Every structure is written in structure tokens, then in C-alpha cells.
Amino acid sequence: MTLGFLQNQWYAAALSREIFGKEPFARKICGEDIVFFRKSTGEVSALEDRCAHRHAPLSLGLVENGSIRCQYHGMLFDGNGQCVEVPGQKKIPSGARIKSYPVAEQDGWVWIWIGKNGSQSVSTIPSFPYFDTGKWAGFQKYFHVQGAAQLFVDNLLDLSHLAFTHKSSIGSSSSAVAEPDMEVSVEGDVVRGRRYIYNVEPGPLIVKWGGFAGQIDRCSDYVWRPPSVVEIESKFSDPTNKITIMVINPITPETDVTAHFWIGWSRDFDLDDEELTKSAIVDNTRVIMEDVVMIEGQQRVISSRGSLQPIAINADRAVMTVQNVLKRL
């Protein structure tokens, strides 16, 4: 059942590099157990993770010439979910078919359509051309989170938490970083925001990446797209230097209380510095885990105490705007 999740949407499902070879790839998306594998053409297929015969997980099987074989009794299913072979008999039962899902690959991610009656055009999947171009350099990484997906969305939309949760990494001890002065607007189903902070102390990792020696200005432009994709463009500058970092965060529900989270981090400076990319992976893992600790703590409190109504403060402006769009959708 997926009634608790926004339907008829493209959700991030995996990094492209996670699905390869003869090994099926299993992942629960919005409460649905799904198996991914590649056809002989290289295209990704996605099926419900069960055999139509005795309901054994197909993810325990093997990929053969672009189809997937159940390792219980050997039934073979093509990328459309149709059984095409039953060992020991010529006739294939008419009901030997399982659900298939529309999938698409773009910018290093595999996306899956969760909903009914077909899918929207792949053109509705947001474009993030920061990971296969000579103008940017960075990485993409996956995290599994013991917390609801919306808790991570709320976290990313609330930049005031940088002064506290990330004060030893990308934040700052300056009180200005916590001030919730921001612009928020809605364009259809998309929420956009901008936040300028002037003449503040940069966090330790910002100093490391940009080589800043003193106070800086920082501007964050962020975009939320349904169901749960956040894109943040951060610019850091002083009189002698300016750097831009793009952070792409697809967040996909696994269950009501667990989520899949990806960070795509890319920069417009020192593009050939591979050591910087390697260290940025370590640095950003640290940053994300600072958030994960807090979010998983939130989830434990919420799960143990039942329905709790949060108290809104000024810093929640973008969060509330997104929640209003979600209610409408």
C-alpha cells in the first residue's frame, strides 16, 4: 500500500552505478518492494519483487539476457513483467505476470514512477547537469535514513539550523546565520527561496574549500520540487574570491518512518583537483551525518509519542509553504 505517499510522481530510486551486471538490485520505494535490473540494451527495468508462482523474491534470482530468473523454480520474467519461460512445461499460465514500473535514467540517477495509469513524460524529471560536464566537478552518494523522508525535506528547507547543527562544519557561530530572513515564492507546484547573509564568519569546511581568510557573504538559492527533491545553489564570496557549490538532494520514502537520501555535490572551482573531490566526499558525509543524527532522533521521539503537532516559528516559512503545496497535491 502506498496511500501514505504522494502518488503519480517520479521518485529517485538508485544511482545508475548501483544497477549493473547479472545481480538484481532490490529497494523498497514508497512501501513497495521493487527489483531493478538491466536489459541487454542497457536500459533499466523495474518489477515488483516477487515471482508470480510462489511469491519468492526475484531479487534473489539472476539476470539472464535482459530478463530475470527466479531462483526458486526457474520461471523467467522479461522487463515488462511477463513470464516468458517455465522450466518443465511449454505452456505459460495466463496469469504469470507481475507489475512493472516506468523507469528513466538521468544525470546519474534512476527514477521510478509511483502511481497508476501510466506516467508523466520524463521531461518532468528535474535536470541536474552537474555531474557529467567539464564545467563542474563533484560526486553523488547514497544514505539510508531511519526517519521519514519529509523530516529530511524540512531540514533542507530550514537553513537557520546551520548555526547549530553544523556549527563545526559548514555553519557559523554568528547569530546572523540563524536569522530566518528569506524570500519564499511558489510557481505552480515548485517552491523557490533565497537567503542572503552578509559579512559573516565562514564555517571551517567553507574556509577549507574556498581558501577564505576572513568574513564572507553567502547566498543560498533553493528549489523544492514535488514529491521531495531539493536543489540548493550556495555562493560564498569575499573581495578576492567567489565559489559556487550545487547540492542536489533527492529524498524518497522507503516506509512511513525510513527514507532513501542522496547527495549530489558539485563545485565550479578547482575542477581538476581529484584530492579535493575525495576530501569533499568525506567532509560532506560528516555534514549529512550531522543531519541524520538529528532526524533519526526526531523520528524516535515522534514514533514513541504518537501524533505530535509541531509549533511553528519564523524559520519554518519555507517548510510551511511546501507543506501547503503537498496538501493541495
Closest to 191 measured CA to CA, from 15, 4, 316: 316
Give pLDDT tens digits for 8-67. Answer: 999 999 999 999 988 999 999 999 999 999 998 999 999 999 999 999 999 999 999 999
Mean pLDDT of all residues belonging to the chain: 92
Sequence-separated contacts (24+) of 164-170 with Cβ below 8 Å: 165/290, 165/291, 165/294, 166/203, 166/287, 166/290, 167/203, 168/203, 168/204, 169/203, 169/204, 169/205, 169/283, 169/286, 169/287, 169/290, 170/203, 170/205, 170/206, 170/287
Element (H, E) at 66: none
Record the pTM.
0.93
Ordered by where they begin, the domains of the chain are 9-124 (2.102.10.10), 137-328 (3.90.380.10)
Spatial separation of the C-alpha atoms in residues 288 and 296, rounded to whole Å: 12
Beta strands 83-85 and 259-267: pairing type?
Answer: unpaired
| Mean pLDDT, rounded, for 171-193 | 76
| Mean pLDDT, rounded, for 134-153 | 96
Torsion of the alpha carbons at 297, 299, 284 and 130, rounded to the nearest 10:
-170
| Mean pLDDT, rounded, for 105-130 | 92
